[in-house]
Structure 1
Amino acid sequence: MTALQRMIAFTVLVAGGFGGQMMSWGQSVPVIEVGTFSSDQPGSGLPNGWKPLTFPKIPKQTEYVLVKDGGQVVVKAVSEASASGLTKEVTINPKDYPIIHWRWKIENLLKQSDVSRKDGDDYPARLYITFAYDSDRVSLGRKLKYTAGRALFGDIPIGALNYIWETKTPVGTIIENAYTDFARMIVVESGPSRVGLWVEEERNIYEDYKNAFGEEPSLINGVAIMSDTDNTKERAVAFYGDIAFSKAAK
């Protein structure tokens, strides 16, 4: 399955309404909590409000389970020549809530992972952000591509950011997906130095989208986590902690 087909399947699942919870850090920074895994119970099935993301042409699915790690409940993903994810439907204005925060950990890198190649388009951990189509915010060229894609595949996102943990590509790299220019890959972790450690991440989605696509983003309509190894046929184990959007950095 191509990356575009994955995005299409993902968008079908996340096409609903707002799925976050308003919370606050301290008394000054309001946030929208999208993944509150730490408040779930280990072994209790899927996280509250999240749905499975599966692909018809990929029979083997990644396994996701709530476990306790380091004193908190998190999502554990085990991928063995498999691909599937978990999705959460949201409606968030990235200009109002531009900062995304999450934490993750991996047990191993993929030997054959390579963001520049179709056969290397696998990652032990990735975080998807997809964006709804808004004709007022899209350049003419991308509008024509979107119209053509929609005629073939139905309701698809106008763009997606993939925050990935890669094997060797330098951190900070922003590159077009090997399958489609509807998606951009952003390398936030690379190499073995942090394997086995919990890593706190913070990204400005608003700025990342403008840098990646050269235009203003539309509304965010979905968030997903995914560990996939269907192209490389390897094994990966990853853990995902809570995910939230905020108006400002911590």
Structure 2
Amino acid sequence: MNTITRLLVLLLAIALPATVLSQTGARLTPFSKMQSLSDGWESLKFPNIDQLTRYQLVTEDGTQVVKATTSGGASGLIARVTIQPSESLVLRWRWKVSNVFEQGNARKKSGDDYPARIYVAFQFQPEKAGFFERAKRKAVEVLFGESLPGNALNYIWANSLPMGEFVPNPYTDKTMMIAVNSGATNVGEWVTVERDLVADYRKAFGEAPPPIVGIAIMSDSDNTGETATAWYGDIQLNQ
């Protein structure tokens, strides 16, 4: 399955009915408190990909985290939410990877794989879309019976893209790739990341963000065929 199809399936999955979180005190189910992977998160699988990423709850240094192992495949975990950002909304998490992908390249379709990534998807704004964009989305909605979200921020552990770099996804400029870690410098170490979603959205798309409709984690290697393991700690949202 190519990345266009994968992104479409991701958007369709995010578009399903959401668990509403208030503007203040928005909270994702922490991995450290989950009894199973279905506690507040759902499996995200893609058609025509038989080799799935394996997700499991494990204990690292006395804390429960999610371990993801990918080997030439792809799948993810998704939390469906509805959150209206105010002036600032900070996404905070920690993660660790075993390695980066030698063939990984955020600027090329063939290299659009990452040992660890986090998607943040935002509500579609039809009043700001052109006629053909609205028509295309309407056709998909009629076909699948779901409303698609709009733009997305994609935080990645990149191979060679410089830290802090923003680049459009090689398949769609509706998704902006942001390198929050890059290269092998911190491989094997826990790294804590904090991002202001409002500031990042403004930088990526030149305007204030609409409501957030979904957050997902994914470790994938179906384009490069490589292998990696990632560990995801709790993901937090703070106004």
Query: How does the TM-score come out when normalised to structure 1?
Result: 0.87
For the Cα contact (< 8 Å) 2:22–2:83, is it kept in 1?
no
Please give the alpha-carbon distance, in whole angstroms, between the structure 2 residues aligned to 1:152 and 1:192.
Answer: 43
Indicate yes or no: 2:9 matched with 1:12: no
- Which residue number corresponds to residue 81 of structure 1? 72
Give the distance between the partners of 2:221 and 2:117, measured in 1 at CA.
12
Cα distance in structure 1, aligned partners of 2:41 and 2:87: 23
**Which structure 2 residues correspond to residues 69-218 of structure 1 after superposition, within 5 A?**
69-95=60-86, 98-136=89-127, 138=128, 142-154=129-141, 155-218=147-210
Residue 26 of structure 1 is matched in structure 2 by: none
Tell me the secondary structure at the aligned position of residue 196 of structure 1: coil
Contact 2:6/2:46, CA 8 A, preserved across alignment: yes
- Alpha-carbon separation, structure 2, partners of 1:91 and 1:200: 25
Q: Which amino acid aligns with 1:243?
A: I
> Partner of 2:28: helix, strand, or coil?
strand
Whole-Å Cα distance in 1 between the matches of residues 201 and 157 of structure 2? 18
Q: Pick the aligned partner of 2:231 from 215, 226, 239.
A: 239
- Whether 1:32 aligns to 2:62 is no
Q: TM-score normalised to the size of structure 2?
A: 0.90
Structure 1 residues 88 and 216 mapped into 2: Cα distance closer, same or farther (>3 Å)? same
Alpha-carbon distance in structure 1 between the residues aligned to 2:182 and 2:132: 32
Whether contact under 8 Å (1:52, 1:86) holds in the other structure is yes
SS of residue in 2 equivalent to 1:33 = coil
Structure 1 residue identity aligned to 2:50: P
Counterparts in 2 of 1:21 and 1:135: CA distance versus 1, 3 Å: closer
Report what 2:144 is aligned to: none
Q: CA deviation at 1:47?
A: 4.5
Residues 187-240 of structure 1, C-alpha deviations (whole Å, 9 max, x = no match): 000011111111111001111111111222111000000000000000010000
Q: Distance in 2 between matches of 1:32 and 1:150?
A: 29
Superposition CA RMSD, Å? 1.9
TM-superposed deviation, 1:127: 0.2
Name stretches of at least 5 consecutive residues in structure 2 with no aligned partner: 142-146
Query: Quick one: which amino acid aligns to residue 233 of structure 1?
Result: G
Q: Aligned AA for 2:8?
A: I
* Structure 1 alignment gaps of length 5 or more: 23-29
Q: Deviation of residue 148 (structure 1)?
A: 3.5
Task: Tell me if structure 2 keeps the 8 A contact 1:75–1:241.
Answer: yes
Percent identical: 41
Q: Residue 221 in 1 paired to residue 208 in 2?
A: no
Q: In structure 1, give the amino acid aligned to 2:67.
A: K
The one-letter amino acid paired with 1:54 is K
Asked if 1:64 corresponds to 2:55, the answer is yes
Q: Is the 8 A contact 1:99 1:202 kept in 2?
A: yes
Paired residues in the alignment total 233
**1:48 corresponds to which of 39, 48, 52:** 39
